[in-house]
Amino acid sequence: MIRCILIANKRAKRQELIKNLRSLPQISLVAIVDTAMAAVARFETGTIDLAICEMVLPDFIGIDFLKSLNNPPLFIFFSDKPDYAADAFACNAVDYLVKPISFQRLLQAIDKANMLLQQHRLPSQEYNFLVIQQASSQIFIPYEEIYYIESDRDYIHLITLDREYCIWHTLSAMEERLAACKAFIRVHKSFIINLNFIRYIKFWKIHLKLRSEIIPIGPNYRAALWDRLGLRQ
């Protein structure tokens, strides 16, 4: 459950957003406030996971408010205009929503926040499975079922024995999550593979068991791969 606070100053125009947030089973809307300073007291209790914050508030611009906090929760900003979007993402905002906010767009932003929170709450490298977020569910994927992981900008494709998952994540963050499991290694700027599924390597390309995909080995990753495999270049 994500403990969420809504910070919005236009009471007459926020009812639809409140309604949609309350309809999401993964959201616990613990507070609704009009100003940044009213939100600070809630933050100090340490019980807020996510702030959904209007960009222009009576007492602060949302970005400046986020910068002023010592230990902020995750932030999703929303506004009538996209003007502040670049600055919001530069401050590590989870997402930036432009009104009118559709339910699907809101859900996408919440899923991003949930994924980031799960990284902290469920450090899956301590177990024999990886936990990923799909809509309102947490999916537990055993390591031995993962063939490889491919980067696609802000998303990754996780290929398993029987299906493919597309999740909002960076490959570097996933590499860190899998660091304790020695079966996985990054072999290219865009690929992490499970060593157990290598069929053979030829001309710096990895051929996988039971799959037709061929995974390239990047020049900067060859030495680490050869060392992991106990081979000489």
Residue 125: pLDDT over 60? no
CATH of the domain spanning 2-119:
3.40.50.2300
What mean pLDDT is reported for the chain? 87
- The rounded percent of the chain whose pLDDT value lies above 70 is 93
Same fold: 2-119 with 123-229? no
Note the pLDDT of residue 124: 43
- Convert the pLDDT of each residue in 164-190 to its tens digit: 999 888 898 889 888 888 899 999 999
Which pLDDT does position 122 carry in this prediction? 47
Q: What are the sequence ranges of the domains in the chain?
A: 2-119, 123-229
Average pLDDT over residues 31-53: 89
Residue 114, H or E segment:
helix 103-121
User: In what order do the strands lie in the sheet containing 164-168?
Assistant: 164-168, 155-160, 146-152, 191-194, 184-188
- pTM above threshold 0.75: no
Q: What is the pLDDT of residues 10-25, one digit of tens each?
A: 765 788 999 999 988 7
Domain 123-229 bears CATH identifier 3.40.190.10: no
- CA dist 61 and 56 (Å) reads 5
Contact 136, 26 (CB under 8 A): yes
pLDDT, tens digit (0-9, with 9 covering 90-100), for 1-11: 788 999 998 76
Q: What is the pLDDT of residues 47-56, one digit of tens each?
A: 889 999 999 9
